[in-house]
A and B are shown apart, each in its own frame.
Chain A
Amino acid sequence: SQMADLKSLAKHMFEAYLKNFNMNKTKARAILTGKANIPPFVIHDMETLRLAEENLVSKQAVNGIQNKEAEVRIFQRCQCTSVETVRELTEFAKCIPEFINLDLNDQVTLLKYGVYEAMFAMLASIMNKDGLLVAYGNGFMTREFLKSLRKPFNEIMEPKFEFAMKFNALELDDSDLSLFVAAIILSGDRPGLVNVSQIEQMQETIVQALRLHLHSNHPDAIYLFPKLLQKMADLRQLVTEHAQLVQKIKKTEADTFLHPLLQEIYRDMY
């Protein structure tokens, strides 16, 4: 009966994941492997960037950034996507059993510290070694183009590609990722949590469901579960370095603007 409960929990989290995230690995892989009806528009230099800006993204979202430097425009659009993903992650978190019954300040803390780790784990789904999907899968920005941007903007994505290549080698699917993301959110050691034991218990249940699910979904990958636990630690490091880089950009780049929601998340983070 306990195993049946864990299986139904896995199913529930997978459904919540499909419902709340606009993009997922199945959709992304179809586009990246050329199975989509329309192949994504490739952004590989300043000219193709301009073309994509004119044709792929809504004009409404670009208010005030059209005349800024390419690096700044890309940075601002990354923020739009991040804000949207934080909104999706919040809705997904609310679907985790008992999450909405937690102390509201603890819910905030779990999201504050969890959203970027979850975001970088899911970012791997839309990446391959040559680039990543942008504009809801209608565009593909090359890794080389991102590397060719001026400092410090060229340093933002490369560590995420390096993580993604190792993470993608584990060949997780969306059902695995749904439990992995839930486990990241329910970390009982985030600074300032009040009801630690309650959150630890919830995470334990999700982690058990993940272990059981991996066992049946990847019967031949015997070390997959411990490898994933290691990835949770790697993601913390990735977010710490990302937060430091964003602080640096905020200080040194007068032309950049940090969205209020992201400011809330980064403030006093690490």
Chain B
Amino acid sequence: KEKHKILHRLLQDSTSPVDL
């Protein structure tokens, strides 16, 4: 789960920001 925490977050919360 820790290995893919951003994907997990994107799946659960579409509003979470992912910036470069």
Partner-B contacts on A (CB < 8 A): 61, 76, 79-80, 83, 86-87, 90-91, 94, 100, 104-105, 107-108, 111-112, 259-261, 264-265, 267-268
Q: A112-B4, A264-B3 are in contact. Are A259 and B20 (CB under 8 A)?
A: yes
The answer to whether A264 touches B11, judged by C-beta atoms less than 8 angstroms apart, is no
Additional pairs, 10, CB under 8 Å, beyond known A79-B20, A90-B11: A80-B20, A83-B18, A83-B20, A94-B11, A111-B7, A111-B11, A260-B6, A261-B18, A264-B4, A265-B7
Q: List 14 A-B contacts (CB under 8 A).
A: A76-B20, A79-B20, A87-B10, A94-B14, A100-B11, A108-B4, A108-B8, A112-B4, A112-B7, A261-B6, A261-B7, A261-B10, A267-B3, A268-B3
Q: A260-B6, A261-B6 are in contact. Are A61 and B11 (CB under 8 A)?
A: no
Q: Select A90's contact among B3, B10, B20, beta carbons within 8 Å.
A: B10
Q: How far is the CA of A250 from the CA of B20 in the complex (A)?
A: 16
Give B12 Cβ to nearest chain A Cβ, in Å.
8
The answer to whether A90 touches B14, judged by C-beta atoms less than 8 angstroms apart, is yes
